[in-house]
């Protein structure tokens, strides 16, 4: 189907009626018209010239409205994914990593994550990305989009120092909502990047489990370890008395979600880079997806039609007889 960017210009198509009424041809006086023999060829030529004029105006009017054709989606097999990056922007993301040799002045976790995620986005030009960040409250960044300029801009914005707490449940819910009512045209991934965890209450747990199942999304959790902090793979130590170990229980909960899940613990920027590379590799599994072919501009074509019609009219005009020849 042909669609128009500026349909208001289609009104100029009305002008195509004028050439049907006006011919603009040179007329020559003749003494006695009934004496002119009946000439069907001339009548056909006259009609053809008028039609050419109308066609030229019509095509120009259509060209003015910027016509284009959006092709049917084609099914392709390739590597494409819909990735909602779910970023922790709590205050602790401004701290450094845990790894050995960590010292003052090292790159903050938030900043390292932003830098590496930017590269990740740049290397995956065919994927759609969404962005959700969360601290005390979830913050909608971007809807799933192919506008990678905006995605990297949103990731760069997340390198600003964070504020508030780590409300993972709200962030995950908002991320999963992004898949709602959208066609499944690529593998779906929630890429959770956080440096802490929080307990998720039973009601929220059920809600998130249901959302994961409904939206058929995989989950990758990149956990950035803080110096002196614990990780998801450290079970709580009963010797130490009460130990909530939210990271450990959150990991257990994620493993039990019933969707593809992987955990990466990164305690240095290098480990984070390796984790992101691994996610990239996993997401390069072939998958079936529908791709919309780039739209086809038809303005030039219509303009060409106008040109041809106009040129033919010009030829006809140049053949006009200035006077009755003997």
Partner 1 sequence: MKTGALASTLAHGLRGRGTRFWLLAAATLCFGIASFDPAVRIEREVGTYMMVFDITQSMNTQDVGPADARIGRLDFAKQLAISALDQLPCGTQVGVSIFVERRTQPLLMPVDVCRSRGSLADAIDHIDWRMAWAADSHLYYGTYSALDDIRRMAPGAALAFFTDGHQTPALHPGRIPSWDGKPGEVPGVLFGVGGESPEPVPKLGEKGRIEGYWTPEDTAGFASAGAPTLSVADMERMGGDIRNAPQRAPGSENDHLSLRRDDILEDLSQRTGLATAVARSADQVARQLRALPGGRTAETRMPLRPLLALAGLALLIVSLAPASVARLLPARARPASRLTPVST
Q: Which parts of this chain interact with partner 1 (CB under 8 A)?
A: 12, 15, 18-19, 22-24, 26-29, 53, 56-57, 60-61, 63-64, 89, 133, 135-143, 145, 147, 149-150, 153-154, 156-157, 159-161, 163-165, 297, 299-300, 303-304, 306-307, 310-311, 313-314, 317-318, 322-323
Residue with smaller CB distance to partner 1, 137 or 227: 137
Contacts of 70 (CB under 8 A, 6+ apart): 1, 3, 292, 295, 296
Q: Which is nearer to partner 1, 282 or 308 (CB)?
A: 308
CA 110/CA 195 separation, integer angstroms: 9
Question: Cβ of residue 51: shortest distance to partner 1, in angstroms?
Answer: 13
Indicate the angle between helix axes 109-122 and 269-282, nearest 10 degrees.
Answer: 30
Least distance in Å: CB of 14 to partner 1? Answer: 11
CB of 47 to partner 1, least distance (A): 15
Nearer to partner 1 by C-beta: 74 or 160?
Answer: 160
Tokens of 47: 């009609």
CA separation for the pair 282, 30 (Å, rounded): 86
User: For 278, phi and psi rounded to 5 degrees?
Assistant: -65, -40
Bridge partner list, 222: 193, 264
Please state the closest distance from residue 136 (CB atom) to partner 1, in A.
4
**Of residues 286, 264, 268, the one with CA closest to residue 276:** 264
Nearer of residues 126 and 288 to partner 1, judged by Cβ: 126
Kindly state the smallest distance separating residue 89's Cβ from partner 1, in Å: 7
């Amino acid at each position: 189907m042909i669609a128009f960017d500026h349909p208001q210009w289609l009104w100029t198509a009305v002008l195509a009626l004028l050439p049907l009424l006006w011919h603009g041809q040179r007329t020559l006086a003749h003494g006695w018209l009934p004496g002119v023999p009946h000439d069907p060829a001339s009548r056909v030529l006259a009609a053809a010239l008028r039609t050419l004029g109308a066609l030229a105006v019509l095509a120009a009017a259509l060209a003015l409205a910027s016509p284009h054709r959006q092709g049917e989606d084609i099914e392709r097999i390739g590597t494409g994914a819909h990735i909602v990056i779910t970023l922790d922007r709590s205050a602790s993301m401004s701290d450094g990593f845990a790894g050995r040799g960590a010292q003052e002045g090292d790159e903050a976790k938030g900043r390292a994550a932003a830098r590496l995620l930017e590269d990740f986005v740049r290397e995956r030009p065919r994927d759609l990305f969404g962005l959700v960040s969360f601290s005390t409250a979830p913050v909608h960044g971007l809807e799933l989009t192919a506008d990678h300029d905006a995605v990297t801009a949103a990731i760069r914005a997340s390198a600003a120092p964070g504020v508030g707490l780590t409300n993972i449940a709200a962030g995950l819910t908002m991320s999963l909502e992004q898949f709602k009512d959208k066609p499944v045209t690529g593998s779906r991934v929630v890429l959770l990047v956080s440096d802490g965890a929080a307990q998720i209450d039973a009601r929220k747990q059920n809600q998130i489990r249901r959302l994961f199942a409904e939206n058929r999304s995989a989950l990758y959790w990149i956990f950035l370890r803080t110096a002196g902090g614990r990780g998801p793979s450290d079970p709580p130590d009963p010797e130490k008395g009460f130990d909530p170990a939210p990271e450990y229980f959150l990991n257990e909960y994620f493993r039990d979600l019933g969707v593809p899940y992987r955990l990466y613990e990164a305690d240095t920027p290098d480990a984070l880079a390796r984790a992101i590379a691994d996610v990239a590799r996993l997401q390069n599994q072939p998958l079936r997806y529908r791709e919309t072919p780039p739209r086809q501009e038809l303005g030039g074509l219509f303009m060409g039609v106008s040109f041809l019609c106009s040129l033919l009219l010009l030829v006809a005009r140049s053949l006009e007889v200035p006077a009755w020849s003997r």
